[in-house]
Amino acid sequence: MLRTHTCGELRIEHVNESVTLCGWVQRVRDKGGMLWVDLRDRYGITQLLFEEGSTAPELLSQARALGREFVIKATGNVVERFSKNDKIPTGDIEIRVGTLEVLNASEVPPFIIENDTDGGEDLRMKYRYLDLRRTEVREKLQLRSKLAIATRNYLANQDFIEVETPVLIKSTPEGARDFVVPSRMNQGEFYALPQSPQTFKQLLMVSGFDRYFQIVKCFRDEDLRADRQPEFTQIDCEMAFVTREDVLNLFEGMVRSLFKDIKEVDLPEFPRMTYQDAMRLYGSDKPDTRFDMKFVEFNEVAQNKGFNVFDQAELVVGICAKGCAEYTRKQLDALTDFVRRPQVGAKGLVYVKCNPDGSFKSSVDKFYTQDDLQSWADLAGAEKGDLLLVLSGKANEARKQLNELRLHLGDELGLRDKNDFSPLWVVDFPLLELDEETGKYHAMHHPFTSAKKEDIELLDQSPGEVRANAYDMVINGVEVGGGSIRIHDKPTQQLMFKHLGFSEEEAKAQFGFLMEAFEYGAPPHGGIAFGFDRLCALFGGSDSIRDYIAFPKNTSGRDVMIDSPSHVSDDQLEELGIKLR
Neighbouring C-alpha atoms within 13 Å toward the C-beta of 262 = 25
Burial 214-225 (b: 16+ CB within 10 A, else e): bbbebbbeeeee
Q: Which listed residue (148, 262, 265, 309) binds a copy of itself by CB under 8 A?
A: 148
**What CA–CA distance (Å, rounded) separates 515 from 487?**
10
Binding mask 61-100 for a copy of itself (x = CB under 8 A): --------xxx-x---------------------------
- Between 32 and 173, CB nearer to a copy of itself: 173
Q: Which listed residue (89, 98, 109, 175) binds a copy of itself by CB under 8 A?
A: 109
Contact between 122 and a copy of itself by CB under 8 A: the answer reads no
- Between 81 and 217, CB nearer to a copy of itself: 217
Query: Shortest gap between Cβ of 22 and a copy of itself (angstroms)?
Result: 4
- Between 199 and 289, CB nearer to a copy of itself: 199
Contact between 170 and a copy of itself by CB under 8 A: the answer reads yes
**Torsion, Cα of 443, 446, 447, 452 (10° steps):** -80
Q: Judged by CB under 8 A, which stretch of 233-241, 275-283, 447-455, 473-481 contacts a copy of itself? A: 233-241
Q: Judged by CB under 8 A, which stretch of 132-140, 327-335, 348-356, 494-502 contacts a copy of itself? A: 132-140
Q: Which listed residue (114, 433, 455, 559) binds a copy of itself by CB under 8 A?
A: 559
- Between 301 and 496, CB nearer to a copy of itself: 496
**Torsion, Cα of 528, 501, 509, 578 (10° steps):** -90
Asked whether the beta carbons of 539 and 147 are under 8 A apart, the reply is yes
How many residues lie near a copy of itself (CB under 8 A)?
A: 125
Q: Judged by CB under 8 A, which stretch of 218-226, 280-288, 337-345, 461-469 contacts a copy of itself? A: 218-226
Asked whether the beta carbons of 494 and 473 are under 8 A apart, the reply is no
**What CA–CA distance (Å, rounded) separates 115 from 120?**
13
Contact between 8 and a copy of itself by CB under 8 A: the answer reads no
Contact between 415 and a copy of itself by CB under 8 A: the answer reads no
Q: Judged by CB under 8 A, which stretch of 50-58, 184-192, 319-327, 451-459 contacts a copy of itself? A: 184-192
Other CB atoms closer than 10 Å to residue 412's CB: what's the count? Answer: 15
Q: Judged by CB under 8 A, which stretch of 177-185, 299-307, 356-364, 428-436 contacts a copy of itself? A: 177-185
Nearest Cα to Cα of residue 179 among 171, 201, 553: 171
Alpha helices in 36-75 (DSSP H): 57-64
Contact between 311 and a copy of itself by CB under 8 A: the answer reads no
Q: Which listed residue (123, 412, 524, 544) binds a copy of itself by CB under 8 A?
A: 524
Burial 309-332 (b: 16+ CB within 10 A, else e): ebeebebbbbbbbbebbebeeeeb
CA dihedral sign, ordered 505, 507, 511, 515:
negative
Contact between 508 and a copy of itself by CB under 8 A: the answer reads no
Contact between 327 and a copy of itself by CB under 8 A: the answer reads no
- Between 126 and 340, CB nearer to a copy of itself: 126
- Between 334 and 509, CB nearer to a copy of itself: 509
CA dihedral sign, ordered 443, 449, 450, 451:
negative
Pairing of strands 478-485, 525-531: antiparallel
- Between 56 and 65, CB nearer to a copy of itself: 65
Contact between 176 and a copy of itself by CB under 8 A: the answer reads no
CA dihedral sign, ordered 535, 538, 544, 550:
negative
Query: Shortest gap between Cβ of 489 and a copy of itself (angstroms)?
Result: 6
CA dihedral sign, ordered 62, 63, 65, 70:
positive
Pairing of strands 93-104, 44-51: parallel
Query: Shortest gap between Cβ of 164 and a copy of itself (angstroms)?
Result: 6
**Torsion, Cα of 276, 289, 409, 359 (10° steps):** 80
Query: Shortest gap between Cβ of 202 and a copy of itself (angstroms)?
Result: 9
**What CA–CA distance (Å, rounded) separates 278 from 426?**
7
Conformational region of residue 179, where left means phi above 0, alpha means psi within -120 to 50, and beta covers everything else: beta
Query: Shortest gap between Cβ of 401 and a copy of itself (angstroms)?
Result: 31
Contact between 226 and a copy of itself by CB under 8 A: the answer reads no
Q: Which listed residue (265, 434, 444, 576) binds a copy of itself by CB under 8 A?
A: 576
Bridge partners, residue 73, by sequence: 22, 101
- Between 104 and 328, CB nearer to a copy of itself: 104
Q: How far is CA 186 from CA 171, 180, 403, 575, in A?
A: 15, 14, 51, 11
Give SS3 for 260. helix
Contact between 115 and a copy of itself by CB under 8 A: the answer reads no
**DSSP state at residue 451:** B
Q: Which residues from 471-490 bind a copy of itself, rule CB under 8 A?
A: 488-489
Q: Judged by CB under 8 A, which stretch of 200-208, 300-308, 320-328, 381-389 contacts a copy of itself? A: 200-208
Q: Which residues from 388-407 bind a copy of itself, rule CB under 8 A?
A: none
Nearest Cα to Cα of residue 318 among 335, 305, 343: 335
Query: Shortest gap between Cβ of 160 and a copy of itself (angstroms)?
Result: 8
Query: Shortest gap between Cβ of 273 and a copy of itself (angstroms)?
Result: 24
Query: Shortest gap between Cβ of 488 and a copy of itself (angstroms)?
Result: 6
Alpha helices in 287-438 (DSSP H): 299-302, 308-311, 329-340, 370-380, 395-412
Query: Shortest gap between Cβ of 148 and a copy of itself (angstroms)?
Result: 6
Query: Shortest gap between Cβ of 555 and a copy of itself (angstroms)?
Result: 9
Q: Judged by CB under 8 A, which stretch of 85-93, 181-189, 269-277, 427-435 contacts a copy of itself? A: 181-189
Contact between 556 and a copy of itself by CB under 8 A: the answer reads yes
Contact between 165 and a copy of itself by CB under 8 A: the answer reads yes
